[in-house]
Amino acid sequence: MSPSKKPLAATLFYGSASLLLYVLLFLYADQFVAWAEQTKEHKALFLIPVVVAFIFSYFHGAFTGLFWELLGLRAAKSGGKP
């Protein structure tokens, strides 16, 4: 893969977004604990950590895939036989 086709900009974007999400999670950890304690009265609050987990999974997964691609590492293709 030529250097111009390497996904540097996308890697930096998803890496920055992932880092920002971790910082926000750290800064608002007390709010997440409060929501967890309130789930006894408000059952729908359980959706908040589920949605946050999906958002983290998307951004961190995209960053990880692009990062390894940027380094030139890819999964081996299976021929169907061991």
At 30-58, the pLDDT tens digits run: 999 999 999 999 999 999 999 999 999 99
> Confidence band (pLDDT; 50, 70, 90) for 64?
very high
Q: Which two tokens stand for residue 44?
A: 């729908």
Task: Give the span between the Cα atoms of 15 and 30, in whole angstroms.
Answer: 25
The mean per-residue pLDDT over the stretch 5-29 comes to 94
Contact 7, 69 (CB under 8 A): yes
Contact 48, 35 (CB under 8 A): yes
